[in-house]
Amino acid sequence: MRLLLLGCTGFIGSELVPRLIHSGHQITLVSRKKISQVNFEDNFSNVTFLEANPSSYTSWQKGNLINALRNSDGVINLAGEPIAEKRWTQKHCEEIENSRLNTTKYLLEAITKHKADIKVIVNGSAIGFYGTSADAVFNENSLPGEDFLARLCNQWENIARTKNKKTRLVIIRIGIVLEKDGGALGKILPVFRAGFGGPIGNGMQWMSWIHRTDLCQIIDNAVINKHWSGTFNGVSPNPVQMIDFSKILGRTLHRPSLLPVPGVLLKILLGEGAKIVLEGQKVSCSHLNEIGFKFLYPDLKNALETIVKSSSK
């Protein structure tokens, strides 16, 4: 398929794009970054790069982006400012919102205006849709939460659902993505390797995680399998509590995992954004189980062992 990719030049995209190329798709990659700043392990000469801001209205009015949209069969939209890397000031919250809501709104408006024959849209979301809870178990039919991130995800998904009836829509609520070169694990691996690792906060909060390879496989399947539609939780079948995550990571690295990170420190660094780390949520992958999706890394121990082994090479 000819695919237009939005927001796929970061942590997830670094594995997703090579996978899509190897699957035989033709890729047009849209990014606010300059081409020289987009680094993948493989140099794919057959990827078309477009430097544009997809959350800007003017980007969708004319030019190369519209031409690329018209020539595409499908769209993968993972665009959005990182959620847990900066303090949630009012300005940053607006950036988090606009990067997701505007990109999706302008994309769908452009599809309609320019009569683009888009057969499938794979749209990102997050398990933050459900809010946080110490004991509830959420599946794809659970109601949205009421905090900032939950409201944002709900809005984001509702905009995506305004797509044309002929366009198949797959929404993936992404959990905590694990790999060595980014995300939450990329930040804490050096700390654990130095022997200073431990649970964050009280350690009882649930972590609904997924290995990046499994997430990329889900996205690839969502593009090509016509019977895939609706909402999927992009999480492994085995969520763990933070204290168990720390223990398993420590054992995998042969390092102690006894030094907790005080929740108050995280609140100072991230403000309200610390809530998603300190409270967490237990999310099931019911829809993926129903359709028989096979995870390469369903268990945390195996996932972390594979990641640690590859990072030591």
pLDDT in tens, 205-216: 999 999 999 999
Q: How many domains does the chain have?
A: 1
Local confidence band at 108 (pLDDT 50, 70, 90 cut-offs): very high
| pLDDT of 267 | 66
pLDDT in tens, 138-158: 999 999 999 999 999 999 999
Q: Quick check: is 223 in a domain?
A: yes
pLDDT over 60 (residue 43):
no
Local confidence band at 179 (pLDDT 50, 70, 90 cut-offs): very high
Domain containing 91: what range? Answer: 2-175+210-235
| pLDDT of 186 | 87
What value does the mean pLDDT take over residues 233-254? 95
> Long-range contacts: 257-260, Cβ < 8 Å, 24+?
257/192, 257/197, 257/198, 257/199, 258/198, 259/196, 259/197, 259/198, 260/198, 260/199, 260/200, 260/201, 260/203
| pLDDT of 200 | 85
| pTM, full prediction | 0.94
Q: Quick check: is 104 in a domain?
A: yes
User: Among residues 62, 40, 65, 41, which one has the least CA distance to residue 51?
Assistant: 65
Q: Quick check: is 289 in a domain?
A: no
Q: Quick check: is 105 in a domain?
A: yes
Q: Quick check: is 298 in a domain?
A: no
Q: Quick check: is 204 in a domain?
A: no
- Look up the CATH number of the domain holding residue 83: 3.40.50.720
Q: Quick check: is 140 in a domain?
A: yes
Q: Quick check: is 47 in a domain?
A: yes
pLDDT over 80 (residue 39):
no
What value does the mean pLDDT take over residues 272-282? 79
